Amino acid sequence: MLTGCFEFEQHFEFEADGNAAATGKIVMDAAVVAMTERDGKPFCDEEVVATGEVEKTVTKSTVEADLVCTIEMTGEMQQVIQAVAEAATTTAEDPPTAMLSDDNGRFTLTIHLPSLKEDEPPSEQDEEMAEMMQQMFLARLSGRVLRFSVTAPEIIETNGTISDDGTVATLTRPMADAFTSDEPTIFRTVFELGDSGALERVRGLFRSDEEVE
């Protein structure tokens, strides 16, 4: 589905009690959606489905000239990540993956999205037309992004950026780059469900006061 969309965001929110919510947003130009739906391919089927311990809710909305399909999954965090991984399963040799590992309470979320670049180059006779079509396509991707983010009680490290309060990690990539580069999009974030680091900082302040006395 990503290869036909103009913007994609996936946010994961992990709670201290071990539950999580994964919210994905697929944004497409309404005119493009109209063309694909004429071929019998629905853009977004609204539904509420409970599978095991995970509840999935799909809603469709309109934002200016775009249609937005929002897919939210909630439940126990390992089950949620497994549901996200299964939803992304394709027959491609290098499919998207989502994995969550637990190292004694320190969790690592790893998202791997392969390059969205077309595998097969156009034939010589179609090269000029393909180049023109690609330039038109890339122009429509201007300002569009691919974004992954995590909210957790404490972010330890990430290959993205960390918010000032240390609770949100974000990786943003221009969608045009994702469609023209051979490089995959990899988002990795290490987090904990308890803010032990903040507790240590508070203890450090008290120890400093005692040393001064």
pLDDT digits (tens, 9 = 90+) for 122-174: 555 566 666 666 666 666 667 788 999 999 999 999 999 999 999 999 999 99
Confidence of residue 75 (pLDDT cuts 50, 70, 90): very high
Phi, psi (rounded to 5 degrees) for 104: 55, 45
Name the amino acid, one letter, at 104.
N
Question: What is the end-to-end Cα distance of the chain in Å, rounded?
Answer: 64
> Running DSSP on this structure, what letter comes out for residue 183?
S
Predicted TM-score (pTM) of this structure: 0.78
Q: Per residue in 77-102, pLDDT tens?
A: 999 999 998 887 655 567 788 999 99
* Beta-carbon contacts of residue 74 (< 8 Å; ≥ 6 apart): 19, 20, 21, 22, 54, 55, 57, 80
Distances (CA, A) of 173 to 5, 26, 142: 14, 15, 12
pLDDT of residue 126: 67
Q: Per residue in 7-29, pLDDT tens?
A: 899 999 999 999 999 999 988 87
d(CA 76, CA 87): 17
